[in-house]
Structure 1
Amino acid sequence: MGFIAEGNTLAWEDAEQHANYIREHGIIQLLNILKSNKDRHGDDFKWGDEVEYILITNDTFKLKLRANEVLDLLMLEEKRNHGNVDHLWRPEYGRFMIEGTPGSPYEGLGRQLLAIQQSLVKRRESVQRYLKPEESILTVTCYPRMGCKGFTEPQAEVKGPVAESQFLPDMVINPHFRFSTLTANIRKRRGSNVSINIPMFKDTFTKEYVDQQTYISPDQDDKAINQPYNIYMDAMGFGMGCCCLQATFQLPDMEEARNMFDQLAPITPLVLSLSAASSIFKGYLSDIDARWTVISQSVDDRTKEELGKIGLNKNKFVINKSRYDSIDCYISRSPQFRSEYNDLDLVYDKDVYQKMVENGIDGLLSKHFAHLFIRDPLVIYSDKIEIDDEKHTDHFENIQSTNWQTVRFKPPPPGASIGWRVELRSMEVQLTDFQNAAFIVFSAILVKAIADLKLNFYVPISKIDENLKTAHKRNSVVNDKFYFRKNIYNNNSPNGSVENEYELMTINEIFNGKGEFIGLVNVLKNYIKSLNFDAETNQTVNRYLNFISQKASGEIKTISTWTREFVQNHPAYKHDSVVSEEIQADYLKLCLDITNGVVYDEEIQGNFERLDSN
């Protein structure tokens, strides 16, 4: 969930007056980091993953609002063992969510790849030790009936003072002050509730308008606007209550990390499409398959001025994206980079940019951070405003950690052994530990192959934005095409037309190849041959890569497609886009049975996971 500290948080009315101070000192702290680490070289390749879980009742299949109690027990183990534990646990936005990571990072590639799935298995077991008999955890991206009447246990009243939501009670929010403050301050800063609107799937008997009280928040045109076939949500929890799968990689130095940031950016829409696992929102079948736009809208704190609806007066910038979105600029100084790839009209703070340039930071990196610093800090701790900028980076992290982009460039923290890192953030969490392990291992091998083989995935940033929109479409893996680079081995200084460097390809073509383009999976299979893995490691890794290959070909369905088909084939479904409590209960029971190995479904598991149960 980003930077979390202890202390008293300020409401927006009080926090706003400190925003410029936090930004000013955040830049000072960033410059101190960059100066002290610019010549840092030779850090080992280390990496890790983050998996998010939801807690449900396994009799009524409601969201159980006591994950914070379970988390307290798990973190107490960590404290007693002075951090020397197999897994680390951290709070997430929802009172029904838990985030688990490895206790220490993985190092390099080799037999440790065998430990990924086992780590995921043991994480589940660790949580399950503290669950009551009627409770279970699941790795599903989006709870289907979030925001419907009586969806939590215990039940709670809506229209609380924090979210002021018509649909979500404040009780769904994690009790740590950061989360409620973030929720309230986003709402107060923008001047209204967030307004999340996504298309409803139009089935035979779907109503053009459904009773959702208000469709769009009044801030749009001073009155509510009805939209046909629309799913409306009004609170941060609808987005930040979704679960994801993330991976973070430490690179040898800053230049390698900057290049990895760039090269992973074009990959993010592809793995979002491939991992798509969220097709139901607020009890309705949607016409999208992925969560990203829902989260993006759920934390959009832009004012009318920043949205360009009225002239700038109080605010400084018209901002074209939410805080939670795709990246807006490349940052590498690699010879593979062309300035034409940065084809968006980047909004950045000129004063921040100038200060960084005056302190010896190159233009590309200065613009990246100056772009992040167009945002206000949202959570300010009253006792942590005046701090030592040489020793702490709280103010920098305040801004950095609330820019939730598809890839994150992470400088080393002060006084730690941790180096330059890049975080891959777009993947949706999968149902089983094997599936999550497959995506984690694929990502790790891809990162190492990019570094060692100098792979080149550059396309213009605008094409990444288009790809991200495409990734949300129903069954985009099978039905749609994405912009991708034709020659990923081109390491020479590029010339000629940028438009000739890429073309539209299907996910199957990108991952499994076409013609002379052999595909990413085959690139990685050839790469691991050079690593001389032992037979067991080689067999396991190839199982993961073959699973990814069959997902890309459509032979194994995405969880979104599988979910949609489950609903449409359910005897209680009335072909009206409504996912009733009965349908949800049967769906989540099936998810739980698959997770626990009681049921095996080849449509989303292929034959790969049968080996684990033998």
Structure 2
Amino acid sequence: MGFLDFNGEPLPFKEIRTHIDHVKRHGVLQFLNIYRRGKERNNDDFKWGDEIEYSVVHFDDEEKRARLSLRAEEILAALQEKYNEAGASWGSHWNPEFSSFCLENSPDKPYHGSLEHLANVEANMRYRREQIKEFLNPDEMVLSLTGFPRLGCPDFLHPSTAVPNPIENPVSGSIFYPDAALSCHPRFPGMTESIRERRGCKVEINVPIFKDVNTKSPFIEVFNDNESNTAAKPDHVYMDATGFGLGQTCLQCTIQAKNLDEAKLLYDQLAPWCPIMIALSAASPFYRGYITDTDTRWGVISASCDDRNATERIQNYEHVHTLKSTDLKPRHGPMELYLSPQYQKYNDLNSKMNKEAKNTLLKGGVEDGIANHIAHLWVRDPLNLYSGRINIDDETEADHFESTVWYSLRFKPPTPDNSIGWRIEFRVLDGQLTDFENAAYIVFVVLLTRVILAKHLDFTIPMSRITTNMKRAQKKNAVLSELFYSRKCIKNNKVENGKIKDSSTSRQNGWVEVDEEMTIDRFINGKEGLTGVIPVIREYLDETGIQTKARNVIERYLELISKRASGECLTAAQWKRHYVRSHPDYKQDSVVSQLTEYDLLKTCDKLEKGETYEHPVYLDVPHLNQNGA
């Protein structure tokens, strides 16, 4: 969730332009003040929490139709009123989201360091889900559903809205996604409009369509909008609004480190995990009513928030195969820089920097790795600014530092009042259908951080390899069909004077030779002489002496991750794809019909409630081949 506090009116981007230098200069000073206060803080408690986003879905059982309900903000107001009455006993925190059919939820207080707390995550998620159900109408359901299958199709909202057109949608200009679906919080329509104004046109999202037996070939759509006809690519599903990315729900995890050095280390070590976890959590194979050749939301989010102007996009296109170019990449994408000194040798992307910001930070005593990171963030222009928050106190405020450039990982400094420490936010997970699955992924990420520190593990590889892995992770059935660059030996760190040093010595073509291409199964479970990650986690749990009851709960989660890596259990995307292609109403034409969507989402609701099967990965379906068919 972004920075939601505001004062005054949101400024249109043409007015933000006049304040860009001011915001950037003071944003750097605000970070510098936070850094100076927080760089010496030490021994903060290990704390962590999750964020889940939900979609409110309306079902018309007579027409056999599922639509997204625009009541999320009404429900949020009721939840917040109940919270204010209950106080600390409420146990959860609810926030608005980008779309007026979505809600975001997190525990009211973070979890603490005990591993036994990991066994409580699923029950807490279930409790929080039940809170929202109290305020649903009888014909509504709440789903942690990453991609609504027919988002952007005619009449996909309830109450119904008119078919949008650019004139009636002044914020997004979309011909699919009405402005009525945007949250009333000024941050979200303001950001949407700023992205479009800075680009000079609508966003362009093109996802390759899945070619079935009766799919049109070439697959070409013609729209009543010249801009859309120019932007749409053959054999791709075209979308034209930020809501197609930020209107999807997801799962995130934030972890507090004990100090700055540990936060940098965890940030660096989790970086190579982003593409792996994208593929493992894949849950979104449908876009605008079609089956596509991708299983995840990440590329759609990146394109939906791409505010680069025409010159910046052309430069990037000309050097699309040059990973070492300094051209500006989309602002919502994979992180580009390691922070810790020992991993600087893997920063091979030559990322674009704001030189003035970097000089200010270095002169202020900020170490080189973090100065590069912040200077890289500040090549972007701010997209949100409020009339009452232009001139603020750099010592006590951080509005201008809170940019919208949030990559696959977010490095979060302490709060301005120094009440919260250095944190890492893991942002790439697709939301899962059940609390069991969501808990499994959160617990796995948290366990990774514990094992990295306890076992001195090293997952770092050249940043260009991570960029390649991110592209592969978004392909259909990537968890089984793609090879990923991964470190050959994860137990590869030496500890000297309390600091971890890379012990790799083998070099090839000037590089430290640390990685090779391998399947996710081999990386996770261990095969062909490679020590798998899950065996190392189990070894760590054996050494901690964790209580048997909690260990049994965690084992169920590790089993899910392990079996999804091996293909024995389906990802949510694989299961959804199979469900649609097996539905009697499916015509083998890549179209997700109204009836198919209704039955799919009804089944998803039953799965979440435990009314049919234990979990979708245990459904009796044929084993998928390497192409996910």
Into which bin does the TM-score normalised by the smaller protein fall? Answer: over 0.9
Question: Equivalences for 1:558-597 in 2 at 5 Å?
Answer: 558-597=571-610
* Long gaps (5+) in structure 1: 312-316, 608-614
Corresponding residue of 2:515: 502
Could you say if the C-alpha distance between residues 215 and 230 of structure 1 is closer, same or farther in structure 2, counting changes exceeding 3 Å? Answer: farther
Return the alpha-carbon distance in structure 1 between the equivalents of residues 337 and 148 of structure 2.
Answer: 33
Corresponding residue of 2:322: none
Question: Equivalences for 1:71-82 in 2 at 5 Å?
Answer: 71-82=76-87
Corresponding residue of 1:2: 2
Corresponding residue of 1:271: 277
Corresponding residue of 1:373: 378
Amino acid at match of 2:192: T
* Long gaps (5+) in structure 2: 318-324, 495-502, 621-629
Which of residues 114, 129, 134 in structure 2 aligns to 1:129?
134
Corresponding residue of 1:107: 112
What is the DSSP-based 3-state SS (H/G/I as helix, E as strand, rest coil) of the residue aligned with 1:556?
coil
Q: Deviations over 1:346-393 (max 9, x none)?
A: 101111111111111122111110000011111101001111111111
Which of residues 547, 550, 553 in structure 1 aligns to 2:563?
550
Could you say if the C-alpha distance between residues 14 and 206 of structure 1 is closer, same or farther in structure 2, counting changes exceeding 3 Å? Answer: same
Q: Deviations over 1:463-493 (max 9, x none)?
A: 1111111111111111111110011111144
Question: Which stretch shows the higher mean deviation, 415-424 or 456-465?
Answer: 415-424
CA RMSD of aligned residues (A): 1.9
State the Cα distance separating 1:345 from its structure 2 match.
1.8
State the Cα distance separating 1:81 from its structure 2 match.
4.3
Corresponding residue of 2:497: none
Could you say if the C-alpha distance between residues 405 and 214 of structure 1 is closer, same or farther in structure 2, counting changes exceeding 3 Å? Answer: farther
Corresponding residue of 2:102: 97
Corresponding residue of 1:431: 433
Contact conserved, 1:84 with 1:103, CA < 8 A, in 2?
no
1:229 counterpart = 2:235: yes
Could you say if the C-alpha distance between residues 225 and 375 of structure 1 is closer, same or farther in structure 2, counting changes exceeding 3 Å? Answer: closer
Question: Equivalences for 1:16-35 in 2 at 5 Å?
Answer: 16-35=17-36
Return the alpha-carbon distance in structure 2 between the equivalents of residues 215 and 506 of structure 1.
Answer: 43
Question: Equivalences for 1:296-307 in 2 at 5 Å?
Answer: 296-307=302-313
State the Cα distance separating 1:538 from its structure 2 match.
1.0
Contact conserved, 1:246 with 1:426, CA < 8 A, in 2?
yes
State the Cα distance separating 1:534 from its structure 2 match.
1.1
Contact conserved, 2:144 with 2:432, CA < 8 A, in 1?
yes
Question: Which stretch shows the higher mean deviation, 429-438 or 224-233?
Answer: 224-233
Return the alpha-carbon distance in structure 2 between the equivalents of residues 216 and 556 of structure 1.
Answer: 44
Amino acid at match of 2:439: A
Corresponding residue of 1:480: 482
Contact conserved, 1:216 with 1:226, CA < 8 A, in 2?
no
Corresponding residue of 1:213: 223
Contact conserved, 2:504 with 2:514, CA < 8 A, in 1?
no
Could you say if the C-alpha distance between residues 503 and 563 of structure 1 is closer, same or farther in structure 2, counting changes exceeding 3 Å? Answer: same
Corresponding residue of 1:612: none
Return the alpha-carbon distance in structure 2 between the equivalents of residues 216 and 413 of structure 1.
Answer: 46
Return the alpha-carbon distance in structure 1 between the equivalents of residues 370 and 161 of structure 2.
Answer: 46
Q: Deviations over 1:173-230 (max 9, x none)?
A: 1111111111111101110100001100111111123435179947xxxx81553211
Return the alpha-carbon distance in structure 2 between the equivalents of residues 271 and 25 of structure 1.
Answer: 35
State the Cα distance separating 1:416 from its structure 2 match.
4.1
Return the alpha-carbon distance in structure 2 between the equivalents of residues 255 and 396 of structure 1.
Answer: 21
Return the alpha-carbon distance in structure 1 between the equivalents of residues 226 and 430 of structure 2.
Answer: 27
Contact conserved, 2:147 with 2:284, CA < 8 A, in 1?
yes
Return the alpha-carbon distance in structure 2 between the equivalents of residues 91 and 515 of structure 1.
Answer: 47
What is the DSSP-based 3-state SS (H/G/I as helix, E as strand, rest coil) of the residue aligned with 2:215?
coil
Corresponding residue of 1:419: 421
What is the DSSP-based 3-state SS (H/G/I as helix, E as strand, rest coil) of the residue aligned with 2:493?
coil
What TM-score comes out, normalization by structure 1 length?
Answer: 0.93
1:193 counterpart = 2:194: no
Contact conserved, 2:316 with 2:329, CA < 8 A, in 1?
no
Return the alpha-carbon distance in structure 2 between the equivalents of residues 240 and 434 of structure 1.
Answer: 24
State the Cα distance separating 1:310 from its structure 2 match.
11
What is the DSSP-based 3-state SS (H/G/I as helix, E as strand, rest coil) of the residue aligned with 1:55?
strand
What is the DSSP-based 3-state SS (H/G/I as helix, E as strand, rest coil) of the residue aligned with 2:4?
coil
What is the DSSP-based 3-state SS (H/G/I as helix, E as strand, rest coil) of the residue aligned with 1:415?
coil
Corresponding residue of 1:87: 92
Return the alpha-carbon distance in structure 2 between the equivalents of residues 215 and 123 of structure 1.
Answer: 43
Corresponding residue of 2:320: none
Q: Deviations over 1:30-78 (max 9, x none)?
A: 0000011111100011000001100001333100011011111112233
State the Cα distance separating 1:114 from its structure 2 match.
2.0
Amino acid at match of 1:4: L
Return the alpha-carbon distance in structure 2 between the equivalents of residues 178 and 260 of structure 1.
Answer: 30
Contact conserved, 1:183 with 1:236, CA < 8 A, in 2?
yes
Contact conserved, 2:220 with 2:233, CA < 8 A, in 1?
no
Amino acid at match of 2:506: G
Q: Deviations over 1:399-427 (max 9, x none)?
A: 2xx11211110000021421100011111
What is the DSSP-based 3-state SS (H/G/I as helix, E as strand, rest coil) of the residue aligned with 2:476?
coil
Corresponding residue of 1:286: 292
Contact conserved, 1:195 with 1:217, CA < 8 A, in 2?
no
1:165 counterpart = 2:194: no
Amino acid at match of 1:142: G
Q: Among the aligned pairs, what percent are the same residue?
A: 40
